[in-house]
Structure 1
Amino acid sequence: MSAELIPFSGRKLDAAASMLGEGPTYDLHTGAAWWFDIVGRKLFEFKLASDKATVHELPMMGSVLARIDDERQMIATDTGLHIRHVATGELELVTPIEADNDVTRSNDGRVHPSGALWIGTMGKNAEKGAGAIYHATRGVVTVLFPNVTIPNAICFSPDGALAYFADTVTAKLMRVTIDPATALPTGSPEVFYDHSGGDGGLDGAVCDLDGTIWNARWGAGCVDAYAPDGKRLTSLKVPAGQTTCPAFVGENCDRLMVTSARENLSVDRLAADPDAGSTFLLDHPVKGQFEPDYML
């Protein structure tokens, strides 16, 4: 389980700290990075070229954003998938997911090259088995994996033939074969990496053009890189203990942005972890892939 730990090199973005930062992504058309404060019900927009942050208040808990076109975005929330009109911020519910379940909210998710979305739900207090991982496309929602506690690490291989995911409480990063044309599973999940007994927990992930999975490790303040054969290659240190999710950013898609959280930290722990909840841009070069658009 050991791998080289590379000291932090990068910078903290000039944006307010999040209680629970999640769902970072990058829009190459506008040069803006986006992420959520789930608990704070905020959506952050950050222009990398100007280092300017804009905070959009949300009426609900959001966790995942995907571009539809120049005028519209799809965001996953505690009631389902909403179209967000970029010019006004207006939200329009189009695909309910657990909308009648007050216990759960959306969590980790990612768009597949086919334009379909995998999205996870979980209990707002991490209730055991309260969530699930869904496949959503063109208004059709399919349950893929029920009885999930904390869905995380959803990402896809560059050819769209493999999906990765985790239930953080099981400490296992899973892999399953999927149809590249639909993102629906064609096989049964198998253990890709067993993190049992390791420091911290598996959180959000992205997969680069080489098939390397970059996974944020909650509670360990780092992002780990896993080769396609399941070997942990390296770990990049991040100056916030509760790292949540990485994203590929920049016009060349060659940088990692990482969100974090300050949720549930005591006064003493916050004093020892003053950058908790901040978002960071790492210097370590990567071969990222841009996020696909969501297909309505």
Structure 2
Amino acid sequence: MTEPVLIWDLQAELGEGPVWDAARSCVWFVDIKGRRLHRYVPASGEKTSWDAPDQIGFALPAEDGSLICGVRGGLHRFDVEAGDFSLFHPVEVDRPQNRLNDGFVSPDGALWFGSMDDSETETSGALYRWFRGELERHDDGYGVTNGPCLSPDGRTLYHHDTLAKTILAFDHSDGVLSNRRVFAVTEDGYADGPSMDAEGVLHVGLFSGWGVARFAPSGQRIGTIRLPVQTVTKAAFGGPDLRDLYCTTAWLGNADKRIEQPTLGGLYHVRVQTPGLPQSLIRL
């Protein structure tokens, strides 16, 4: 494992949702509070940003080459060539206090994502699955949702209630969840975005925890990848061999720490030994 390297000092207020786009050999991620979508191309170092219509929780690649984005109020399609966002599926019109947060694409092409109260005071967040035009709510009552992600065999889905510092696990079969249980609790930070490696080790960004926590399939904490900033929101595997770990960070709630941590909100890179899982594409 290499030491973390700052590759984009963009100082995002709430950087989130890194994802590897193999077709374009780039990393997409968002600044939720800054309402911006970002793209980083490792081979050239090219950095590009777009303004989003509202707070944007995730941007994930679809089979038609577009990105499907979780913007407050609904799912939007982002046309990469035109740089345009267009709403195609409203979400939670009955919960106007909420916004969308983290998301994930399962191998069957389904989009899983969560919502949360924007003020982080009510437990009005929920877990959803969108598949080919159909939206289904699978769980409810979250403070701040993050995730989900799946085990390599697809039989376990992990999803977080970040305010409770709790990682939940569900049995998963063909898009159906059961046996909701506590998988782990993070004591040294808030369990933020998760990613999975090829050996079934869960990697969890630690908000206020200075790194990325690693959990064995048993739920045992087996280590931490330390970063030089305290608010790590998510780490995603990328690169040709899926051994490049891209970590988003944030200064939200820590503006007073920016003097001693001036790179809060930057995008970091760590080279790891075990690869991650290939990024699936959303089926439309």
Q: TM-score, normalised by structure 1?
A: 0.92
* Counterparts of 1:103 and 1:37, CA distance in 2: 19
Alpha carbon RMSD of aligned pairs, Å?
Answer: 1.5
1:78 aligns with 2:68: no
1:180-219 matches, within 5 Å, as 182-185=174-177, 187-195=178-186, 198-219=187-208
Query: Which residue type is aligned with residue 228 of structure 2?
Result: P
Kindly, what percent of the aligned residue pairs are identical?
27
Residue 268 of structure 2 corresponds to which residue in structure 1? 280
Whether the aligned pair in 1 keeps the contact of 2:63 and 2:283 (CA below 8 Å) is no
1:126 aligns with 2:120: yes
Cα distance, 1:100 vs structure 2: 5.3
Whether the aligned pair in 1 keeps the contact of 2:157 and 2:171 (CA below 8 Å) is yes
* Counterparts of 1:172 and 1:249, CA distance in 2: 26
Query: Which residue type is aligned with residue 175 of structure 2?
Result: A
* Counterparts of 2:147 and 2:202, CA distance in 1: 9
* Counterparts of 2:203 and 2:85, CA distance in 1: 31
1:120-269 matches, within 5 Å, as 120-179=114-173, 182-185=174-177, 187-195=178-186, 198-267=187-256, 269=257
Question: What SS class does the counterpart of residue 170 from structure 2 fall into?
Answer: strand
Whether the aligned pair in 1 keeps the contact of 2:104 and 2:147 (CA below 8 Å) is no
Q: TM-score, normalised by structure 2?
A: 0.95
Cα distance, 1:127 vs structure 2: 2.3
Give the aligned length: 284
Whether the aligned pair in 2 keeps the contact of 1:14 and 1:52 (CA below 8 Å) is no
* Counterparts of 1:157 and 1:266, CA distance in 2: 35
* Counterparts of 1:170 and 1:40, CA distance in 2: 25
Whether the aligned pair in 2 keeps the contact of 1:26 and 1:247 (CA below 8 Å) is yes
* Counterparts of 1:183 and 1:160, CA distance in 2: 10
Unaligned runs of 5+ in 2: none
* Counterparts of 2:253 and 2:258, CA distance in 1: 10
* Counterparts of 1:58 and 1:42, CA distance in 2: 5
Whether the aligned pair in 1 keeps the contact of 2:40 and 2:47 (CA below 8 Å) is yes
1:14-93 matches, within 5 Å, as 14-69=8-63, 71-93=65-87
Deviations 1:187-214 (A, max 9, x none): 221111133xx12110001011111100
Unaligned runs of 5+ in 1: 1-5
Query: Which residue type is aligned with residue 245 of structure 1?
Result: K
